[in-house]
Amino acid sequence: MLRSGSMHHLDRVDLELLTALCANPDSTYVGLAHTLGLSRNTVQARMTRLEESKVFLEFDRRISAAVLGYPLTAFIEVYIAQKRAAEIIAELVLIPEIVQAHGMSGAADLLVRVACADAEDLFRIDRTILACDGVERTETSLAMGELIPYRVTPLLERGTQPKPA
Higher local confidence (pLDDT), 150 or 8: 150
Looking at the structure, tell me whether residues 44 and 83 fall in a common domain.
no
Band of residue 3 on the pLDDT scale cut at 50, 70, 90: very low
Measured CA to CA, the distance from residue 118 to residue 125 in angstroms comes to: 11
pLDDT digits (tens, 9 = 90+) for 39-54: 999 999 999 999 999 9
The per-residue pLDDT for 13 is 94
pLDDT digits (tens, 9 = 90+) for 107-148: 999 999 999 999 999 999 999 999 999 999 999 999 999 999
61 is a domain residue? no
The per-residue pLDDT for 157 is 86
The yes-or-no verdict on residue 7 having pLDDT over 60 is no
30 is a domain residue? yes
The per-residue pLDDT for 158 is 86
Looking at the structure, tell me whether residues 21 and 89 fall in a common domain.
no
DSSP state of 39: -
CATH code of the domain in which 84 resides: 3.30.70.920
Looking at the structure, tell me whether residues 33 and 77 fall in a common domain.
no
Element (H, E) at 88: helix 85-92
How many domains in the chain?
Answer: 2
148 is a domain residue? no
Q: Give CA 131 to chain center in angstroms.
A: 26
Measured CA to CA, the distance from residue 19 to residue 53 in angstroms comes to: 17
157 is a domain residue? no
Backbone CA torsion sign across 52, 57, 63, 68: positive
Q: What is the pTM of this model?
A: 0.82
155 is a domain residue? no
Looking at the structure, tell me whether residues 49 and 70 fall in a common domain.
no
The per-residue pLDDT for 4 is 40
The 10 Å Cβ neighbour count of residue 68 is 10
| Range of the structural domain that residue 43 is part of | 12-56
Looking at the structure, tell me whether residues 76 and 45 fall in a common domain.
no
Element (H, E) at 136: strand 135-142
Determine which of 20-24, 29-33, 161-165 has the lowest per-residue pLDDT on average: 161-165
Looking at the structure, tell me whether residues 45 and 98 fall in a common domain.
no
CATH code of the domain in which 35 resides: 1.10.10.10
pLDDT digits (tens, 9 = 90+) for 84-109: 999 999 999 999 999 999 999 999 99
Looking at the structure, tell me whether residues 33 and 76 fall in a common domain.
no
